Structure 1
Amino acid sequence: MTPGKWRKSRYSQPNGNCVEVGRIAGGAAVRDSKDRSAGHLTATGTQWRAFLNAVKTDRFA
């Protein structure tokens, strides 16, 4: 699976400490913007929505 266009948040810091997200069929792919050659992780649509919900509700704080 090759992710589509990679994006990073407009809130990303100029020092490059961020992740990029790309679309894949049925989900999302995530990679480190500083080490793109390390590959990426994938998540199904359900997993990605659960992760985003957890971030938005401070479950990782």
Structure 2
Amino acid sequence: MRRNTANPGEWFTSSYSSGNGQCVQVRRQEESIGVRDSVHPKRALLDFPKEEWQSFVNSTKDS
């Protein structure tokens, strides 16, 4: 994934997204990372502490 260039508080979609509209979006905030469904952006979102999100991202990277 390319480095995120969105401003804090802005939702963005991964550059790896296929563009079919069925993606997750991520938003950087001061203390946490928000994740939501791009198809239903008004529904519930997940909110992760930054450290937990970074652990998740690191665990998905190719070795």
What TM-score bracket applies, with the shorter chain setting the length?
0.7 to 0.9
**Cα offset, 1:39, TM superposition:** 2.4
Alignment coverage as a number of residue pairs: 56
Equivalent residue, structure 2, for 1:19: 24
Pairs within 5 Å for 1:19-58: 19-57=24-62
Identity across matched positions, percent: 38
- Give 1:53's aligned amino acid: N
Q: Within 1, Cα distance between the matches of 2:33 and 2:14?
A: 15
- Give 2:10's aligned amino acid: K
Q: Within 2, Cα distance between the matches of 1:11 and 1:55?
A: 14
Q: TM-score, normalised by structure 1?
A: 0.78
**Cα offset, 1:47, TM superposition:** 0.4
List alignment gaps of at least 5 residues for structure 2: 1-7
**Cα offset, 1:57, TM superposition:** 4.3
Considering only aligned residues, what root-mean-square deviation do their CA atoms show, in Å? 1.8
Q: TM-score, normalised by structure 2?
A: 0.76
Q: Within 1, Cα distance between the matches of 2:24 and 2:59?
A: 17
List alignment gaps of at least 5 residues for structure 1: none
